[in-house]
Amino acid sequence: MVKKLRYTNALAVLLMVAGLSAPALAGSEDVVVENAWSRASIGVNRPGAAYMTVRNTGEDAVTLTGLATPLAMMPEIHESKTNSDGVSSMVPAGEITIEPGQSVALEPGGLHAMLMKLQEPMTEGETFPLTLTFSNGGEVTVEVPILGIAARGPEG
Amino acid sequence: MQRRQLVLYGAAGAGFLGLTLFVGWWRVDGPGAPEPKGQRPLPLSAMEFRLTDHEENEVGPGNLIGRPTMVFFGFTYCPDVCPTTLSDISGWLEELGDEASEMNVVFITVDPERDTVEAMAEYVGYFHPVIRGWTGPEDQIARAAEGFRASFERVPTEGGGYTMNHTASVFLFDAEGELVTMIDYHEPREFAVPKIRRALTEDVEGAT
Ligand SMILES: [Cu+2]
């Protein structure tokens, strides 16, 4: 399943909904989110994770600064790392800059959208909206499909 | 006299140098070399711990001897690495087909506070049916980790909760409980499945 959302379209929808005035959009009109997916959760106590590819098709670098979703009170971009002893750990990834023409992959075992404090269980077959916020005030919202707990990728 | 002393010193020096080189070799490359950090796990027969599986059975390393075994550590509140490892393993087991049922595959939690027997039962139920979930008192988990030379550590998170850092490698043992090899986290299937086949066949060939 491929989800593509033009940055401008997403923003237009968002602005319509929120009735906001247009923020400055210097050079980041073309952020495309592809192959978003997540795994179902057991209840709401365990954090969830979502994965996707964020592509910058514009002329200027964009910096991904944060996430928002009605599904989780504390969504945050994390990075899993495995050291030379084979010990894995997870840390907040901070801001992620994507150069023009480049993309960043959020994928298992690396960067992921960590969904902490779930407001409701993540149910297989459903979707949830996830908004990516950028340093210039721009936003992209993508509908993330929820696959099975044992899913290995966007195809399941 | 002076010259003789020089020769003696020279000989002693050469001998000393040779010894130093030998000791150096012994320690660095030879049999005296320290195990690399994250040392080699013990044979299963040399481990000692008592845990409970997700069906309330008392289990320990002895239960794993007699069949090839795959073991890994994790916790069910782990959103990324653990479900990924479990689904990778499920994929490997699917590829092995019938051979998978000849193996012990065990997921040992490093978070017994949250991973009760019931939690483990629910969680492993979503993955390949061969996978068993083991939990138990913290001291027994620590003993198990020690045997596998695995490590784990509780790390507080900003939300007031905690997460666990832990060894993410998969350990493979032959039917006699000797370590065959380890599968590193995220190793591609084309490498992992042949490694598992090696563990499956090692006992057949009588090699230990
Ligand atoms: Cu995370």
Q: What is the CA radius of gyration of chain A?
A: 15
Q: Name B192's Cβ contacts closer than 8 Å, sequence gap at least 6.
A: B88, B92, B170, B183
Tell me the mean pLDDT in the region B176-191: 86
Per cent of chain A over pLDDT 90 is 72
Q: What angle do CA B117, B155, A88 make, to 5 degrees?
A: 80
Q: Does the structural domain B44-205 have CATH classification 3.40.50.2300?
A: no
Beta bridge partners of A63: A97
**Closest alpha carbon to B110 in B153, B171, B59, B80:** B153
Q: What are A136-152's pLDDT values in tens digits?
A: 889 999 999 999 999 99
pLDDT for B184 equals: 86
Q: What are B22-34's pLDDT values in tens digits?
A: 555 545 444 444 4
- Which residue in chain B has the smallest CA separation from A150? B87
Question: Which amino acid is present at B178?
Answer: E
| Residue B33 or B5, more confident | B5
Q: How confident is the model at residue A24 (pLDDT cuts 50, 70, 90)?
A: very low
CA pair distance B154, B119, nearest whole angstrom: 19
Residue with tokens 């480049």: A102
| Residue B193 or B189, more confident | B193
Q: Where are the domains of chain B?
A: 1-33, 44-205
pLDDT for B8 equals: 52
Q: Where are the domains of chain A?
A: 2-147
> What is the CA(B73)–ligand 1 centre distance, in A?
17
Tell me the mean pLDDT in the region B101-127: 96
> What is the CA(A4)–ligand 1 centre distance, in A?
24
Tell me the mean pLDDT in the region B110-130: 97
* pTM of the shown model: 0.80
CA pair distance B203, B4, nearest whole angstrom: 63
- B66: three-class secondary structure by DSSP: coil
Poorest-confidence range of A58-62, A109-113, B6-10? B6-10
Tell me the mean pLDDT in the region B67-95: 94
CA A126 to chain centre: 16
* Range list of H helices, chain A: 7-18
Q: How confident is the model at residue A29 (pLDDT cuts 50, 70, 90)?
A: low
**Closest alpha carbon to A132 in A141, A123, A122:** A141
* Residue B128, marked binder: no
Question: Which amino acid is present at B18?
Answer: G
**Is A7 a residue whose pLDDT tops 60?**
no
Assess: ipTM above 0.90: no
Q: What are A44-72's pLDDT values in tens digits?
A: 999 999 999 999 999 899 999 999 999 99
Nearest-CA distance A139 → chain B (Å): 25
Is A44 within 8 Å of A95 (Cβ atoms)? no
Output the CA torsion sign for B64, B66, B72, B75: negative
- Residues of chain B whose beta carbon is less than 8 angstroms from a beta carbon of chain A are 37-38, 76-77, 79-81, 83-84, 86-88, 90-91, 122-123, 126-127, 151, 155, 157-159, 161, 163, 165-169, 182, 184-186
Q: How confident is the model at residue B185 (pLDDT cuts 50, 70, 90)?
A: confident
Tell me the mean pLDDT in the region B63-92: 95
CB atoms within 10 A of CB B32: 10
Output the CA torsion sign for A80, A83, A89, A94: negative
A2-147 homologous superfamily: PCu(A)C copper chaperone (2.60.40.1890)
pLDDT for B2 equals: 53
**Closest alpha carbon to B109 in B78, B147, B149:** B78
> What is the CA(A29)–ligand 1 centre distance, in A?
28
CB contact under 8 A, B185 and A88: yes
Burial A97-121 (b: 16+ CB within 10 A, else e): ebeeeebbebbbbbbbbbbbebeeb
- Both tokens assigned to A104: 């960043």
* Residue B54, marked binder: no
Virtual CA dihedral for B68, B42, B167, A85, nearest 10 degrees? -120
Q: How confident is the model at residue B17 (pLDDT cuts 50, 70, 90)?
A: low
